[in-house]
Amino acid sequence: MIDLLSESSLLLLFVVLAVGAPLGKIKIAGINLGIASVLFTGLAFGALSPDIKLPAIIYEIGLVLFIYCIGISSGEQFFGNLKKKGWKENMLAFGAIGFAFALVLSLASFSSLKYSHLAGIFAGSLTNTPALAASLEFIKGITPVALIESALAEPVVAYSVAYPMGVIGMILAIVLFQKIFKTSLKTTAEVAQADKITNATVVITNEKIIGHAIREIKSKYKLDVVFGRIKHDGSSSLALETITLAPGDLMTIVGKPAEIEKATTLLGKKSEIHLDVDHQQLDMRRVFVSNHNIIGQSLKDLNLPHTMGIIITRIRRGDSDILPNANTTLQFGDRVRILTGRNELAAASKFFGDSYSAQSEIDILTLSLGMAAGFLLGMIPIPFPGGISLKLGVAGGPLIVALLLGAINRVGKLVFVMPYSANHTIRQLGLVLFLAGIGTRSGYAFRETLTNSDDGLTLFIAGAFVTLAVAFFFLFIGHQFLKIPFPRLAGMLSGVQTQPAVLAFVNEQAKSEQPNIGYSSVFPIATLAKIIFAQVLLTILS
């Protein structure tokens, strides 16, 4: 069996996936690893023989597919978040990696480990291959030719020993932190209800807003709601922002409960009449967005209420409802709830495309262009003071390009965003390829170092210490001081660790998009920081 698995990479890949996937569903103390179990299955198979390992191209392709899809789907939120509070999150991420750098630097004073081993511990405890690659390039440049082979093996061995605990330790820290601080990855019923988009009908009674246009009222009082329809003198019409309000008007409001309450108090009081059930003049329908011409365009630019007689009251993206505003852009696979005249529903559906089959289609041209641009960016050396240069590599380059393309959505007729379902499928495929590949390639070195090397246990303990210390430092500051919601914070920790396996575990528990948003919000700065700190570490220690 060992010979068979050694000879056939494809057989090895699918055996690891077939064994790992069901193992991830087994719950121990109420916790299951989910798809992250593929990594540990790969480690177990790889430990059987040095010949049982998948080609590097397998995990590299998987990593790039996963990272690119995360970036494309999160680019808009990432840059939007930077304008708000994202800088705090990125400073926390940078501080956590700086903390790891300080810990590894201090190990040089308390242990006999070589500087090459310490560089491997830094990269492995933070599970960052680009940092390891940067360390190897640095060591190659300062080592005599005759000693290069053995010198380059040392950080790789330390990396291999620290890497598995870099994954397990982060997952363990997240589990323990929830128990210690009585928090949870799962969204509570109260929070879920507070975030749920609902609607109400209000009757206009407040004299202060009577005679004022809807646009003026929304702007002055900063109402984060959507006004759907308005009924005046027995006639219903779209609540266009140019309409002025009159006493006794009925108007529908869509938004989160707290915002609806705020708007209702301002406008008047809730009505016992529910306009949303009146379909005589206006009607509603959910339609799929599949028209290439409107993908990536903001609602402000489309100006649908005046050009098409349509108001979008909410958008369903994946499993989440989004309250639209003027800056919201439409993406492939969005299910929009539209309000328009009964006789205009067919034309409105045609305008949006409303094709279900298009939700699984992928534009190979834009996917290939985006990933090629990412590879090229990752290959460019970036100079730093002191003669140091670094490369973003196969992870950093594609991620930064994907974030940019995800933010701008399209360039001319080229649409770079993907349908949600297609993105999710490719992301999952990339993730399992990465986990299986890195697991099988690390398994035997992990076993040999622990069992046969004098420094094996020291390397393992040092790596585990750095991983756990960084995890608790990050979670404590983010939860206790910055008050970041725990599902998002755990996703951010996965991004600080630049570790898809940890993100897979968090997603399995949280079952929301918050971890993915947190992951993508700090991943770029984390990747760059690790590459820089790894080379600074070697500069100091060598």
List pLDDT tens digits, range 321-376: 889 999 888 888 889 999 999 899 999 999 999 887 777 778 899 999 999 999 89
Q: What is the number of domains present in the chain?
A: 1
Q: pLDDT band for 301, please (50, 70, 90 cuts).
A: very high
In a domain, 383, yes or no: no
Whose tokens are 């933010």? That residue is: 407
**Residue 525 and residue 90 in contact, taking contact as beta carbons nearer than 8 Å:** yes
Average pLDDT over all residues of the chain: 86
Domain assignment of residue 177, yes or no? no
Residue 537 in any domain: the answer is: no
Q: Which domain range does residue 349 map to?
A: 195-359
Global confidence as pTM? 0.74
- At residue 469, φ and ψ (nearest 5 deg) are -65, -45
- Residue 19 within a domain: no
Is there a domain that residue 259 lies in? Answer: yes
pLDDT in tens, 478-490: 999 999 999 999 9
pLDDT, tens digit, 9 for 90 and up, residues 144-195 = 777 776 666 678 778 878 888 888 899 999 999 999 998 988 765 555 556 7
Compute CA 12 distance to the chain's CA centroid, rounded to the nearest angstrom: 29
Q: Could you tell me the pLDDT band of residue 17, with boundaries at 50, 70 and 90?
A: very high
Query: Domain of 318: which CATH number?
Result: 3.30.70.1450
CA distances from 309 to 206, 221, 303 (A): 28, 26, 9
In this prediction, residue 40 carries a pLDDT of: 80
Helices (H) and strands (E) in the chain, counts: 21, 13
* Position 286 in a domain: yes
CB 24 within 8 A of CB 37: yes
Q: How far is CA 366 from CA 62, 264, 373, 404, 511, in A?
A: 18, 46, 10, 13, 29
Q: Evaluate whether residue 334 is within a structural domain.
A: yes
Count of other CB atoms within 10 angstroms of residue 368:
10
- Residue 377 domain-assigned (yes or no): no
Report the alpha-carbon distance of residue 500 to residue 489 in Å, rounded. 15
DSSP string covering 250-297, please?
Answer: EEEEEE-HHHHHHHHHHHEEE-SS-GGG--SSEEEEEEEB--GGGTT-
Closest by Cα among 240, 233, 228 to 279: 228
